[in-house]
Structure 1
Amino acid sequence: MRILHITSLFQPEQVGGAELMVETLVRMQAGLGAQVGVACLSRRAQPPERSDAATIYRLGHGTPFHVLDWAEHGRLDRLRYKLAVQWDGRTLAAMEAAVRDFSPDVVNTHSLSELTPRIWPMLRRLGVPVVHTLHDFTSLCSNGAMVRDGRACQRQHAKCRAYALLHRVCQRPVEAVVGVGADILARHLAAGYFRDVPEALRQVIWNPIEAGSPPAPRALPSDGITFGYMGRIEASKGVDTLLEACRRLPPGGWRLRIAGRAADGLDRYVGLAAGLPVAFDGFVAPDAFLDRLDCLVVPPVWPEAFGRTVAEAYARGVPVIGTAVGGIAEQVGTSDPAWLVPPGDAEALAVAMARVVADPARLASGLGNAAAVTAGTRPQAVAARYLDLYRTLLSPEPALADGSRLQGSRRHAHPAS
């Protein structure tokens, strides 16, 4: 099977978990015998990189600047960038050339945060079946997160409805859809997206997480609880809420380590943490950082689609206090609701953290869903589930959930060479 992944960015150029997911999926699928390609944006166009593992098409970009230079530009330049993404004919033509060169059996599109949704109709015109993986809310929200001024949006704002119109018009060629969590898939379906996709071709597949060496058995901490936070340092990720919660904790018996970077610098957050036992560790290797913790706190205020750090923590035997929304809630589970708190609720988060400080023996109960998450994010299993979905899509009569068959041929011609 020939599989082409289309994604905004690909390693080594990346901004978050979507790029890590695609890179891992590509390697795993190639290891399972598939012929795999990737088409992505890049700082400059390059000839295709061909190897036994994958063919990589780095296509440059048709926007006023590269997305990784976003922080260097002002509001007007950013608005020009957003408009250019929507109607980027240069990248659309480069993508079409890559599809024709690779001649895939199926295309799996990923985050279109930096790509025009006109890619989907282009693929239909070429006769290539399309699977789309939902990593974010790009088709519903201009910033892809359904968050504004550090708060989760309760409705779709007028600006986002206008921005999303082209996505809504262009999404009909998508024939199978994957949510990296159940919540993000449900939100898109409720908004009217992908309703023509048969139920058997709407699936939830968690992201692949490559676990390191098995963690050593953990003893109960004897010198206080070490909490940790790992990720982008910003209000939408709940860092403001976390530091406010720390102000409400008892004065001793705990400490907090924060790993990650802030787009606008750490000065504001250092000020919020003044006088607290809080350390800022900067960029870290995840496993090494997690092995220094007793408990990870994952407190985003927005409905994060997956929440990679939850799965990474569970793989290291670290319990998680998380926000009761989106993919975080899905992974933490409901076996012990004390490990979930409402988004943006500093008092509830402080109560959950204080329980652990008062009774470190509670830490073991925070791993109730860890085995299920580790199994569901095993890279080989994730890659195999995607291959099964592609095969179902390419079948002349794909199976429905009840075992019956869809009527009508779903055979597709290869793109013209």
Structure 2
Amino acid sequence: MPTILQVLPALDSGGVERGTVEMVEAIARQGWTPLVASQGGRLVPAVERAGGRHIALPLKTKTPWGIWRNATTLARLMREERVDLVHARSRAPAWSVLKACQATGIPFVTTYHGAYSEGSRSKRLYNSVMTRGARVIAASGFIADLVRRQHGVTEEKLRLIPRGIDPAVFDPHAALGLRVGRLAQAWGLPEGAQVVLLPARVSRWKGQSVLIEALSLLKRPNLFAVFVGSDQGRHTYVRELLDQAAAQGVTRQIKFVGHCADMPAALLLADVVVSASTEPEAFGRAVIEAQAMERVVIAAGHGGAAETITDQETGLLVPPGDVQALAGMIAAVLDAPAEARQEMGEQARASVLAHYTIAAMQAATIAVYEEVLASRS
């Protein structure tokens, strides 16, 4: 049975990391051997529970010497573990994978997860490693178009495989009432508060500033903006956001709650969910999680969100960075009849179940592995 090695910088949090764990589960279910190499992190136990084995390597390094050293270590590991296929999920480790696979003759595939900046020839060369595998998996149509245009990836190599959710986990009809109440209490939300939730790591391009400004325009004292996601050490930016809220008179109405381990309950607590990214999301798993929970989602109309949301049917799109449009749309959702919000939420969940499930992502990725393994033999 094949041994599949997934390689990424670390296993802390995020869509790349969760996708890795989900594929460990699928590989193990096939009766194959799943291995993961990374620098480690809080999701290592999840890899092990899913049936995989984690190998700790300093794969976060981006120095040429570190990449070369990791290539030598990976080549030795691949020989010792009789690896049949490598799946590279990030650029710096992918350069090590490329060198190791050239040394061993073992094929590799990549997942092009992000819209990496390409402001110089050297940056484009650095990014190009994510297109050098036997197959290139794009996380969305937006990313597929990008790699065709910027790197000339052919249809023969390219595979579009969106991320997905577990419908049993993100189920608005599960018994979540107690969990929702506990979160509201933990976050200090007053009884009867209306909640606009922005689920994303705290980063400048994720649009927290846009939502704070929109909140200040709405003049609704009972409306609270809850920012769910780690700041990943960006304490200076958090202070800027708090200063902005103070200057705009909405300090009492914003909550930075950090990482949340119970996202289904967090989403069910929301009256409306916002994705205000000022740069295009490669996919945007938070959007489909909210849709699966039958929440009305307002998203910036670019990148992956423009694919996962059918405007006015399964969610609402606004121009990126347009504070007035976002404020107006939030007001419209909050003032809409409950029946209209429920209908849009139900349509959103139906769309996610039809197109964006973990099971579909796993099956499509296993099919890519089988395709490459078959061509090798």
Aligning the two structures, in what range does the TM-score lie when normalised by the shorter sequence? Answer: 0.7 to 0.9
Q: CA deviation at 1:97?
A: 1.4
Match of 1:191, SS?
Answer: helix
8 Å Cα contact 2:74-2:96 kept in structure 1: no
Gaps of 5+ in 2: 42-46, 177-190
Change (3 A) 1:268 1:171: closer
- The size of the alignment, in residue pairs, is 347
Letter paired with 2:308: Q
Counterpart position of 2:17:
19
Counterpart code for 2:9 = L
Q: Does 1:110 align with 2:95?
A: no
Aligned to 1:186: 145
Match of 1:268 in 2: 240
Aligned-partner SS, 1:301: coil
Secondary structure of 1:207's partner?
coil
- Which of the residues 238, 243, 258 maps onto 2:212? 243
Partner of 2:199: 230
Q: Is the 8 A contact 1:181 1:204 kept in 2?
A: yes
1:322 aligns with 2:299: yes
- Cα displacement (A) at 1:183: 0.5
Q: Distance in 2 between matches of 1:51 and 1:231?
A: 26
DSSP-derived class of the 2:224 partner: strand
Q: Note if contact 2:130-2:136 (Cα within 8 Å) is conserved in structure 1.
A: no
Per-residue deviation, residues 296-328 of structure 1 (Å, max 9, x unmatched): 101111111121211221222222111111112
- Structure 1 stretches of 4+ with a deviation exceeding 4 A read 49-52, 170-173
2:9–2:93 Cα contact (<8 Å) kept: no
Q: 1:352 Cα deviation (Å)?
A: 1.2
Rounded Cα–Cα distance in structure 1 between residues aligned with 2:329 and 2:3: 45
Displacement of 1:230 in angstroms is 1.4
In structure 2, relative to structure 1, the CA distance for the partners of 1:5 and 1:373 (3 Å cut) is: farther
* Alpha-carbon distance between aligned partners in 2 of 1:216 and 1:394, rounded to the nearest angstrom: 41
RMSD value, Cα: 3.0
Q: Residues 124 and 317 of structure 1: is their aligned pair in 2 closer, same or farther, counting only changes over 3 Å? A: same
Query: How far apart in 2 are the matches of 1:284 and 1:50?
Result: 22
Residue 106 of structure 1 aligns with an amino acid whose one-letter code is L
Structure 1 distance, partners of 2:281, 2:97, is 25
- Cα distance in structure 2, aligned partners of 1:93 and 1:19: 24
Cα deviation, residue 18, structure 1: 0.6
Q: Quote the offset at 1:360 in angstroms.
A: 4.1
Q: 1:385 to 1:302 in 2, by over 3 A?
A: same
TM-score, normalising length: structure 2: 0.81
2:186 aligned residue: none
User: Following the alignment from structure 1 to structure 2, what is the Cα–Cα distance between the partners of residues 55 and 223?
Assistant: 46
User: Which residues in structure 2 correspond to 1:284-303 (within 5 Å)?
Assistant: 284-285=260-261, 286-303=263-280
The structure 2 residue matched to 1:374, chosen from 346, 349, 353, is 353
Matching residue within 350, 353, 363 for 2:341: 363
Q: Which has the higher helix share?
A: 2
Q: In structure 2, how many angstroms separate the alpha carbons of the residues matched to 1:278 and 1:51? A: 36
SS of corresponding position for 2:227: strand
Instruction: Report deviation, 1:213.
Output: 6.5
1:204 pairs with one of 157, 160, 168: 160
Q: 2:119 aligns with which of 132, 141, 157?
A: 157
| Matched residue type, 1:346 | V
| CA contact 2:4–2:86 (8 Å) conserved in 1 | yes
Q: Distance in 1 between matches of 2:221 and 2:303?
A: 32
Identical aligned pairs, as a percentage? Answer: 24
TM-score for both structures, normalised by structure 1: 0.74
Change (3 A) 1:23 1:52: closer
Tell me how far apart the structure 2 counterparts of residues 345 and 353 of structure 1 sit (CA, whole Å).
Answer: 12
Give the equivalent residue in structure 2 for 1:352. 329
